[in-house]
Structure formats: structure tokens, C-alpha cells
Amino acid sequence: MTIDVSYTDDDFLYEGKAKYLFEVEDSGEHLVQRFKDDATAFNGKKFAQFEGKGQLNCAFTTHFFDALNDAGVDTHFHGRLNETDMLIERLEIVPLEVVVRNVVAGSLSDRTGLDEGTPMESPIVETFYKKDELDDPILCDCHVEMLDLVEPQQLRDLKAAALEVNDVIEPMFADAGMRLIDFKLEFGFNAAGALVLGDEISPDTCRIWDAEDDRHLDKDVFRRDLGDLIETYEEVADRLGVQVELIED
Ligand code: TMP
Ligand code: ASP
């Protein structure tokens, strides 16, 4: 399906660490999200560029958001426009990084002293404050309430939606011989006030381990200098059946 939207580089709205946003000439309800080749870690302290990463992450996000839309999860994704760009619904983003964890790793291992790879009985959902100047600290529900970031019921809805996303995407990895260890989501409110899943889902925002040998198949290869990022992302795309090249219709 071809989506007909009009935008140019002059319609630039916002630059984040991994993506740009552009305005489109419509009612104002849509934006274009463009994936960059940039990789950052540790709140921008580590930086590099990898040719093709933008295209890969646009393809991953298309793949997962298509599956989530099909499963009835409300997402901002309206379709891929070209190699790096997708049409999205304009959201007012909640300043929370919502992390779902199936297995102990990363900052949960640092915080608890549990070894990376320690299994968990059921998934958990954590919230981090999106605030670069504070290095995105973890927030308890009482802090989210105190800061008035979302209403208590909205926080419960947001966590339930994050677990629904896990229910959809975790089996996609398992079926391809990979373990979805954890991942980060962002949510926002649309013009009608509904809570909608935004941002991206890609190996930049997930921890993915090979089911056989626990090889890291995500941005930890860059954060921890474990291997070639593009080769790793291409392997994951291939195993998941993600369509990276565009087929004109
Ligand atoms: P963490 O273990 O460092 O808290 O990361 C948990 C998950 O969130 C992991 O899959 C990587 C992802 N993540 C992001 O997407 N952006 C971030 O800024 C951070 C810190 C983690
Ligand atoms: N937040 C991203 C990460 O480490 C990038 C960054 O912090 O610069 O996953």
C-alpha cells in the first residue's frame, strides 16, 4: 500500500538521539518518524554511526507495530513510507521509559545484585523518568503520582498495555530461537485523549539473546563492544523474517 503524504526536510520538527520527527501537511494529527544511523549509549556519552541502522530499525519497528496493530494494541504506527520513514499519529508523549523484563539483566542486575540471566517467575514493568539531565532515574508509582506524569488509573493501563506488547512480541522471538530478555516502550496521548503506544521497537530498545548460547543480539553489542552492530541486526532481521528491503507495489 502506498501512503500519499507531503513533507520535506523543511518540515523538520524535532531531533532525538535515534530519530527525527517531521510535520506533514494534513490536519496536524500525523507526523513522520525518520530513523537515523546514529547509535548512542549511556545518555549520549558514547556515540557512533552505522550505515544502514536507520533502515534496519525502521523495518523492525514496522514488523512489530504491524503485529501489534493486528493484535488490537493501540499504536501510533500508520505505515512505512520509505526505507527510513514511517507515518505516525501525533502523540503527546508521557515522559516515562516503560521497561518490561522477562529475565534479569542490565540495570536490574546492577540494582539487585542478581546475576544477568536469572529467570523471573513472571514479567515485571518498571518506569524511568525521561530526563536527560538526571540520567533517566527509576521512578516508583508514588513518584509518578507525585510528579503528576499520568493519573494512577492511566499508569495501571499503561503497565497493562506494556505486558500485552510482551505477550505479542516475546513469542515472535521465541519462535525464531531467541529470548526477549527486556525492552523499553514509550506511550503518549492522541488528540482524542487515548493512551497509545509510540516510539519504536528494535534491537536498539530490546535485549535479545540467542536461545542456544545466550549471544547478545541487540544494542549491547555496541554498549559493551561485543561485535558488529549491523551484522548482528541483520541476523536478527533474517531470523525474524523482517522485510528490510522495500518492495514497490
Ligand atoms: P536497562 O537494563 O539499562 O535499564 O535497560 C532495560 C531495557 O531498556 C533494555 O532493553 C535497553 C532499553 N533501554 C532503552 O531503550 N533506552 C535507554 O535509554 C535505556 C537505559 C535502556
Ligand atoms: N538511551 C539509549 C540507550 O542506552 C541511548 C543513550 O542513552 O544515549 O539505550
CA of 231 from ligand 2 middle (Å) equals: 20
* Residues whose CB is less than 8 angstroms from the CB of residue 44 and which lie 6 or more positions away in sequence, other chains included: 17, 132
For residues 60 and 201, the answer to whether their CB atoms sit within 8 Å is yes
Q: Is 179 in the pocket of ligand 1 (CB under 6 A)?
A: no
Q: Measuring from each residue's beta carbon to the nearest atom of ligand 2, which residues come in under 6 Å? A: 17, 40-44, 219
Nearest atom, ligand 2, residue 46 CA: 8
Q: Among 42, 43, 100, 182, which is best to mutate for testing ligand 1, by the most ligand atoms less than 8 A from CB? A: 182
Q: Is 183 in the pocket of ligand 1 (CB under 6 A)?
A: yes
- The average confidence (pLDDT) of the chain is 96
For residues 135 and 101, the answer to whether their CB atoms sit within 8 Å is no
Q: 184: closest CA among 138, 109, 127, 241?
A: 127
pLDDT, tens only, 104-151: 999 999 999 999 999 999 999 999 999 999 999 999 999 999 999 999
Residue whose CA lies nearest to ligand 2 atom number 4 = 41
DSSP string spanning 155-181? Answer: HHHHHHHHHHHHHHHHHHHHTTTEEEE
DSSP run (H or E) holding 222: helix 220-223
Pure H helices in 53-193: 53-70, 106-112, 141-146, 152-174
Q: 19: closest CA among 220, 202, 208, 234?
A: 202
Average pLDDT of the segment spanning 154-160: 98
pLDDT of residue 27 exceeding 80: no
Q: CA-CA distances (angstroms) from residue 214 to 110, 199, 222?
A: 19, 27, 16
pLDDT of residue 10 exceeding 70: yes
Q: 126: closest CA among 182, 205, 200, 82?
A: 182
CA of 217 from ligand 1 middle (Å) equals: 14
DSSP run (H or E) holding 89: strand 85-89
pLDDT of residue 170 exceeding 80: yes
3-class DSSP state of 66: helix
DSSP run (H or E) holding 130: none
Predicted model pTM: 0.97
Question: Over pLDDT 90: what percentage of the chain?
Answer: 94
Helix%, strand%, coil% for the chain, nearest 5 = 30, 30, 40
